[in-house]
Structure 1
């Protein structure tokens, strides 16, 4: 008996989140079904299966992690053949029997802000100034569901990078509360639009302060990677290539749909 960790990528668009739900298509449901069909897991309760993070509906991933006990090292592409095109196992590693999947060294999230949703150019300098205030150890009560037992979190870095028609917001830390990253981005966007003063951001860490923060849409959030000290995944280039092809097809279909809807809008505006 050994313990194995798998690095998982998925496009969250057509999933009802990560966690299993009755009669709904979820990442975990598809994964466990494939693992059982491949004979990698025969008894879920005895496998000590665990995950790094339960991403919400619509959230994507390039490096979520699951681990479990099994008889031998699984063949990655045998499992991938049983998975749908919008998810793939990209890497694997044998870990110690006491490996704790949830206790990662750090997590990296990336939020993709589309420039077209902003009427005026964002004030990036002020956004980055506010982002620096979010770094370090703070009480993120106002950035959470507000029933978390411990809202104290340490954020290692928050960086904003303009790139053509988008802004990339990279947030790295050990762990995050539910909706925390999307609410952080919402505040940063408010600063960039001039709706929130940079100096006010520090007040958001006061649990007595009661701001209303609407989290940004989940469809633009990617769990980029989950890191563990001393753990190096063996990447599978073939699996990566297959997932890349699937994403390219999705992108092409989306571009076609954008072209069609833009033409329909143009015609309606001419009437």
Structure 2
């Protein structure tokens, strides 16, 4: 049994988990394994297969972890030879035969980069600090309320920093509810930009359901990244070629995004400048 760390840009995908007729990260991994003759055409998934988490549509990953039975020659660089550029295996570890990538993860960590111009750093930190520890997060998830479903989770780490016009959250927990991180981002942004009082955090953490107009929506998925899944006693060996491939692929993506942002800023500033002159002429 071998476990792989996989990085991917989640924007082209309809989430991680395999679904009929749409592109997913999981099916992309399985397609690569079929091309490598590791997975038989008629097989639904590799023997012993499991993944650390099921990221939503648009969500990316640094350290998604998948494990399954495979031949010794299947290294990250061999895996990458049949994967698209925006999905890269970059480390691996031999694991026990009974290893389960989902259930054996002691914790998972996410970063969320949320556009929030004008956010007050101190208010953002104060709101985020209140979320650390064990709470019932029923008001911060899209999961339907069900007496049999436990919405209590422990945020082992909950910090936020202001980086330019972004709030950058670092969250680690024993488990995450559906849309929890994105709703935390939305809540903290509302407090940090003055749209909601700091006391809103305590009200949201009260298990009493929020009325519809007070509910916390999920912020966009594109800034969310799964950055770690921790397994006791498992050490992942980096693959130099896999890491270099990540550096190249995501370096190009960064350059493209920076160019797009600069172009958008140029268009906006020039139209605003013309609009301003037009107003002055009319006066």
- Regarding TM over 0.5, the answer is yes
Match of 2:59 in 1: 59
Aligned to 1:6: 4
The Cα of 1:100 is off from its aligned counterpart by 1.9
Alignment deviations for residues 145-198 of structure 1 (CA, whole Å, 9 cap, x no partner): 132611111110111122344331101111100100110111111110122222
Distance 1:132 1:268, change over 3 A: closer
Q: What's 2:26 paired with?
A: 28
Cα drift, residue 73 of structure 1 = 5.2
Q: What residue in structure 1 maps to residue 114 of structure 2?
A: 113
Contact 1:4 1:73 in 2 (8 A): no
The answer for the alignment partner of 2:279 in structure 1 is none
Give the one of 237, 242, 257 matched to 1:239.
242
What does the per-residue CA deviation read over 1:224-248, in whole Å, with 9 as the maximum and x for residues that have no partner? 1111111111111211111111111
Check whether the contact 2:75–2:92 (CA below 8 A) recurs between aligned residues. no
Q: Is the 8 A contact 1:159 1:171 kept in 2?
A: yes
* Range moving further from structure 2, 258-267 or 193-202: 258-267
* SS state at 1:238 partner: helix
The answer for the alignment partner of 2:200 in structure 1 is 200
Work out whether residues 73 and 94 of structure 1, in 8 Å CA contact, stay in contact via their aligned partners in 2: no
Whole-Å Cα distance in 1 between the matches of residues 14 and 76 of structure 2? 24
Match of 2:220 among 204, 217, 222: 217
Question: If the length of structure 2 is used for normalisation, what is the TM-score?
Answer: 0.87
SS in 2 for 1:23: coil
* Counterpart check, 1:78 vs 2:85: no
CA–CA separation in structure 1 for the residues paired with 2:107 and 2:265: 41
Worse-matched range after superposition: 196-205 or 171-180:
196-205
What root-mean-square deviation, in Å, do the aligned CA atoms of Structure 1 and Structure 2 show?
1.8
Asked whether the equivalents of residues 15 and 27 of structure 1 are also in contact (C-alpha less than 8 Å), the reply is yes
- What are the ranges of 5 or more consecutive residues in structure 1 without an aligned counterpart? none
Q: 1:100 to 1:163 in 2, by over 3 A?
A: same
Match of 2:68 in 1: 68
Deviation at 1:88, TM superposition (A): 0.3
User: Structure 2 residue aligned with 1:254, among 242, 248, 257?
Assistant: 257
Secondary structure class of the residue paired with 1:168 = strand
In 2, Cα distance between equivalents of 1:30 and 1:131: 36
Gaps of 5+ in 2: 276-283
Residue 181 (structure 1) aligned with residue 181 (structure 2)? yes
Q: Judge conservation of contact 2:158–2:171 (CA < 8 Å) in 1.
A: yes
- The TM-score, its normalising length taken from structure 1, stands at 0.91
Q: Is the 8 A contact 1:132 1:158 kept in 2?
A: yes
2-side partners of 1:81 and 1:233: how far apart?
Answer: 20
Larger Rg: 2
Shift of 1:127: 2.0
Question: Helix, strand or coil for the counterpart of 1:82?
Answer: coil
